[in-house]
Chains A and B, each alone.
Chain A
Amino acid sequence: MATVTFDKATRIYPGTDKPAVDALDLAIEDGEFLVLVGPSGCGKSTSLRMLAGLEEVDGGAIRIGDRDVTHMPPKDRDIAMVFQNYALYPHMSVADNMGFALKIAGTPKDEIRRRVADAAKLLDLSEYLDRKPKALSGGQRQRVAMGRAIVREPQVFLMDEPLSNLDAKLRVSTRTQIASLQRRLGITTVYVTHDQVEAMTMGDRVAVLNAGLLQQVDSPLGLYDKPANVFVAGFIGSPAMNIATFDIKDGRAVLGDADVAIPASISSKVAAEGSNTVVLGFRPEALLPASAEEQGGIPVLVDVVEELGSDAYVYGRPAGPAAEEQADRLRSDQVIARVEPRNAPQKGDKINFAIRPGSEHFFSVKTGERLEP
């Protein structure tokens, strides 16, 4: 068991001047399941490979526990890359399939027996240790393969998109399996995915990367409720957060016909920046149909209604005379709202939405950073 520390770790690929991973600072706790997520090319695989020893580190350091592993060969790091090769050998017993790599490493026989027995217990395989893999069900074979990584009792498990060769349905069930196994094992795990839903459902904490830079690291709920900047706000959540740049006028955020009350503290923070615009974000579920007597609101013209049984989502665009200007300043090409499935609107309807008070997200136009009221 161990912590993992990236200490201003930097990787600059030869022939490029922009770092693929730029001064990454990340402290992963003992036993934690940490997910690295971000769009393609953000540097998540590079970060993992630096930890694995497959990529050189051009600046900073990487530590596993107290050991500085920055320049250590991969096999001395006490890490295991999981699910890369889980071939099973047909003529060997389950116990030998799980333990043979320890034999190669010169581990004493009793020690191998103990570790295999421990892993088998964890994986519900104790009574099958003497059988050949052929006599097992598919699920049991799969667990034997996992056992191969587990008996090494590494300090850290590394996984890079281990589910990418599965179809969508299997991905969902397999990720629950992996997450629950990891929790039972309690081995520090770093997991890479480009899929934010996967990240949010699996990780104890999630680190969001973009263009080689760490944007935020927090619990899934923390990321969802308090995104640190516009990038994280737009990246995390499905369907995505609605984000647009609003003008501030008389203590309200105004964009064409959309008009939203904002806290006085936000107005003054924006003014202090020397600006009169603010980036306003609101999640689809933060929108409520506005009552007639309410001032302002966000008028939306409905394009598509997606009925999901328990929920319905409205996909629309800004409505009203200034719609064009609004659309320009919207980060996405549509406005998304969650509505009551039982009285969902029709395509072509015009609805005026209000934002549930307190669920607005404000970001500085200048820095993209979150502004707290």
Chain B
Amino acid sequence: MELRILAAPREQQALLDLPWDMPLEQWPEWYLVALPRGISRHVVRFTRLGRNVYALKEIVKPFADREYQMLRDLARLDVPAVQAVGVVSGREAPDGSTLDSVLVTRHLQFSLPYRALFARMMRRDTVDRLIDALVVLIARLHLTGFYWGDCSLSNTLFRRDAGAFAAYLVDAETGELHNALSDGQRAHDLDTARTNIAGEMMDLLAAGQLDESVDPIAVSDQVVERYEALWIELTEWEAFDVNERWRIARRVDRLNELGFDVDELDIVTDIGGRTIRVQPKVVDPGHHSRRLLRLTGIDAQENQARRLLNDLDTYAAVTEQQGEDEEIVANAWVLDSYEPVLRAIPRDLRGKLEGPEIFHEVLEHRWYLSENLGHDVGLEEAARDYVDTVLRHKPDELAILGGTSAEADTTQPFRITWNDLQ
């Protein structure tokens, strides 16, 4: 059989040098980067090629091809998911036996598997924020017609997002894309999520990595409740009296607040003309991040963007530029506030956190400092103090390192192969 690497030309070249004639499990350590992973059935390893880290998953060819295509489709639909790079098939060991294909994805920078987040004891409110992020991801997927089939914390990656988290889909193996989902499909996804999350929490509790005050079952029930509430806000018809037309604007505001833009709204007035009914038709997630990108060119996650936009508003007020053209003020804010803070971060510490996240933390830090000192501290001073007292002591999250690959068990506790069935 012929080795076949399906990928963009640039990455094809880099991938060519890997030892494809060896089962992934036996790759020598020097090819690998030891990063924490969620629980998985397949062998998953990370490797660094040039400046990038890639995730490699060994899986039968039809599944590799399918997941590759699915991840490409999701990227096209602008869903937060890991990025597919290619499929390596036709692998053969020197003794002529065939090896499974490998799905290659780009390692999601700054991402944290939930197990890494829990490595230090996890508190109640962290759990809540993780759940919130996951719920938004599920609702987003469902809005685009994606049925996940295996929603779990293990199949999700988290990025810090201004004190909260943003969730990314990592495992699309069981996913299906439809025009729209039936209620049954959504309910089943939620039910799977609920079971998996409870199981994952119970496991952490058994491992002593979860605060005793967290109740796995209550947490998993929360997933369902929050999802239902969000789904209603996103899709439900709302009826009110003609005189209460302001409620249309309020609905739009609420959706913006949740991070969604309303691109189309269906409004129906009944025959008497007394009641109006409204339903969001096309909602687009990323309200704040899109606005920030448009104004400043800064690419940030939703909560980070919300935070930065708030700071931009404050800046406009303090500098008395509220009447000015938005873009002009935004440009001034980037030059006066954002860039000086990022410039104050020594180069070797920049891999610790993403730029917008650092800016968010500096804002927080300034608040604490000012509070302690009893007077307003300038942004640049806050940044300097933040670097020395906080940032320097954080783990590197660009690609957090969790031991060596020799300890595969600690990063990949377990997997079952069907071979073992014999």
Contact = CB atoms under 8 A, between A and B. Distances in A.
- How many chain B residues sit at the interface, stated as a range, is 35 or more
A164 B62 contact: yes
A104 B198 contact: yes
B320 interface: no
A74 B179 contact: no
Interface in A66-101: 73-75, 84-92, 96, 100-101
15 contacts: A15-B179, A55-B185, A56-B184, A73-B183, A84-B192, A87-B152, A96-B202, A96-B206, A103-B217, A104-B220, A138-B417, A145-B416, A164-B63, A167-B60, A177-B421
A87 B180 contact: no
Interface string B176-201: 00011011110110011011101110
A300 interface: no
Nearest to B173: A165
Contact of B199 (A15, A74, A87): A87
A53 B194 CA distance: 18
Contacts of A173: 421-422
Contacts of B204: 91
B420 interface: yes
Interface of B: 39-41, 59-60, 62-63, 98, 100, 147, 149-150, 152, 154, 174, 179-180, 182-185, 187-188, 191-192, 194-196, 198-200, 202-204, 206-207, 217, 220, 413-414, 416-422
Contacts of A85: 150, 152, 174, 192, 196
Q: Report, nearest first, the 7 A-B pairs whose CB atoms are least far apart.
A: A138-B420, A89-B203, A91-B207, A91-B206, A90-B413, A53-B184, A74-B188
A358 interface: no
Contacts of B100: 167
Given A138-B419, A142-B420, A90 B414 contact: yes
A139 B422 contact: yes
Given A75-B187, A85-B152, 9 more contacts: A15-B179, A54-B182, A56-B182, A84-B174, A87-B39, A87-B152, A89-B206, A104-B198, A141-B416
Contacts of A92: 199, 202-203, 206
Interface of A: 14-15, 52-56, 73-75, 84-92, 96, 100-101, 103-104, 133-134, 137-139, 141-142, 145, 164-167, 170, 173-174, 177
A8 B416 CA distance: 41
A58 to B, nearest CB: 11
A86 B150 CA distance: 10
B421 A139 contact: yes
A349 B31 CA distance: 57
Contacts of B202: 89, 92, 96, 100, 103
Contacts of B200: 89
Contacts of A100: 198-199, 202
B155 to A, nearest CB: 9
B95 to A, nearest CB: 16
Contacts of B152: 85, 87
Contacts, number: 124
Nearest to A134: B414
A96 B149 CA distance: 23
B39 A104 contact: no
Contact of B416 (A52, A74, A88, A101): A88
B414 A142 contact: no
A177 to B, nearest CB: 6
A275 to B, nearest CB: 43
B277 to A, nearest CB: 23
A14 B100 CA distance: 37
A104 B198 CA distance: 7
Nearest to B63: A165
A101 B203 contact: no
A290 B204 CA distance: 73
A89 B198 contact: no
B421 A142 contact: yes
Contact of A87 (B147, B196, B207): B196
A170 B418 CA distance: 7
A170 B419 contact: yes
A239 B183 CA distance: 43
B199 A89 contact: yes
A101 B195 contact: yes
Contacts of A87: 39-41, 152, 154, 196, 199
Contacts of B195: 101, 104
